[in-house]
Structure 1
Amino acid sequence: MSAAKLDLLTSSLWETLYMVAVSGGLGALLGIPLGILLYTTKPGRMLQNHWLHRLLGIVINATRSVPFIILLVAIIPFTRWIVGTSIGTTAAIVPLTLGAIPFVARITEGALNEVPGGLIEAAQAMGATPWQIVRKVLLAEAMPGLIHGLTLMLITLIGYSAMAGAIGGGGLGDLGIRYGYQRFDSSMMISTVVILIVLVQLVQSLGDWLVRRYDHTRH
């Protein structure tokens, strides 16, 4: 493979890592609190609010039901308003983040649902505030599940970032389409696929290691 192609692969890899890292970070930053709110406002929970819980559930389900390729196109005006353009890696971060937030929210809710109710009741009996329960009990106990879910989210975003290349989002997906498919360059297509596979394997391995580290039930 020529040096020019290697440079293209390298720059496209960094674009993919940039998109996934930023959108994954923003998705976790916004999605985890949303998932906590979804959990705590459920009837019978510490901050129960039936209508808020129901509204959050409807919004999250509606957002998750939209296929990502449609979301990419549908929010082009919003993306252009946020970053000033609808093309490029920075522009792709907007739909990637919007796709990640509801995914992370449901992951967080599911992980928190696995925390034994007895631990929460014990914390309440000792006079812990809702915030203390969330921080010291719920998140601490749900950490392995959260890490596992966030790992799946990052892997999903890698696939989504490749899909974003279909509309000029940059990254490995864009490179594979422009050079591998449109120019019938099989070596470039194979290279992008291999890099994506390796990237997914690395993320999954790191996630599995972190889960083992934080899962105190294994120690």
Structure 2
Amino acid sequence: MSGAMLELILMATLDTLYMVGISGLVAAALGVPLGVLLYVTRPGQILARPALNGILGIVTNIGRSIPFIILMVAIIPFTRLVVGSSIGTNAAIVPLTIAAIPFVARLVEGALNEVSPGLIEAAQSMGATPYQIITKVLLPEARGGIITGLTITVVTLVSYSAMAGAVGGGGLGDLGIRYGYNRFNPVVMLITVAILVVMVQGFQSLGDTLVRKADHK
């Protein structure tokens, strides 16, 4: 394999890590608060707002129901508005983030469901405000589950980023399609798949380690 091809593989790997990293961080920053809102605004919860909860639930479900490849094409005008282009790694970050936010929100909501209602009632009986309950009870108690959810999201983003390569998103998916599939080069395809597998295993191992540390605290 030539040095030029090795350089292309390295750059594609870095592009994939860049796409996954940025979209994962933004999705976590927006998806975690959305997941908390979905939980605390339920009927009977500390900030019960059934109407708001219903609207948030519908929006979240719509976001999760659209296949990623369709989402990429559907929001091309918005992507151009945000980053000035509809192709390349920066353009791929926009649909990756939008796809991940509702995913994160539902996983966070699920993690909060595992928190014992008795802990919330105990905090309320001691006069804790909703903000204090969220920051001192809900989030710390659900920490392990939230980290697990974020790990699942990052692993999913790796596969989504490869899919984005099929429509000019850059990264390993683009490399595999252009230099592996289109040029009938199985070696490039195998290397691309191997790097993606290693990437997923690395993120999963890191997530598992963080969950173990969180559970010990």
Same fold (TM over 0.5): yes
Partner of 2:199: 199
Partner of 1:63: 63
| CA offsets 1:149-204 (integer angstroms, 9 cap, x no match) | 10000000000000000111000000000000001111111000000000000000
> Post-superposition shift, 1:91?
0.4
Greater than 2 Å deviation, 4+ residue runs? none
> Post-superposition shift, 1:127?
1.0
| Partners of 1:124 and 1:9 in 2: CA distance | 55
1:44-59 equivalences in 2 (<5 Å): 44-59=44-59
> Post-superposition shift, 1:5?
1.1
Partner of 2:132: 132
| Partners of 1:178 and 1:45 in 2: CA distance | 51
SS at match of 1:85: coil
Letter of the 1:206 counterpart: L
SS at match of 2:97: helix
| CA offsets 1:74-102 (integer angstroms, 9 cap, x no match) | 00011001111001000000000000000
1:1-219 equivalences in 2 (<5 Å): 1-216=1-216
SS at match of 2:112: helix
- Percent of aligned pairs sharing the same letter: 65
> Post-superposition shift, 1:63?
1.0
| Partners of 1:90 and 1:44 in 2: CA distance | 42
Q: Which runs of 5+ in 1 are unaligned?
A: none
Letter of the 1:91 counterpart: A
> Post-superposition shift, 1:43?
0.2
Normalising by structure 2, report the TM-score: 0.99
| Partners of 2:200 and 2:106 in 1: CA distance | 22
SS at match of 1:184: coil
SS at match of 1:195: helix
| Partners of 2:137 and 2:47 in 1: CA distance | 15
| CA offsets 1:51-93 (integer angstroms, 9 cap, x no match) | 0001100110011000000001000011001111001000000
| Partners of 1:12 and 1:71 in 2: CA distance | 23
| CA offsets 1:109-158 (integer angstroms, 9 cap, x no match) | 00001000011111111111111110111000000000101000000000
| Partners of 1:196 and 1:2 in 2: CA distance | 21
Letter of the 2:197 counterpart: I
SS at match of 1:215: helix
Letter of the 1:102 counterpart: P
Alpha carbon RMSD of aligned pairs, Å? 0.8
Letter of the 1:68 counterpart: F
Letter of the 2:143 counterpart: M
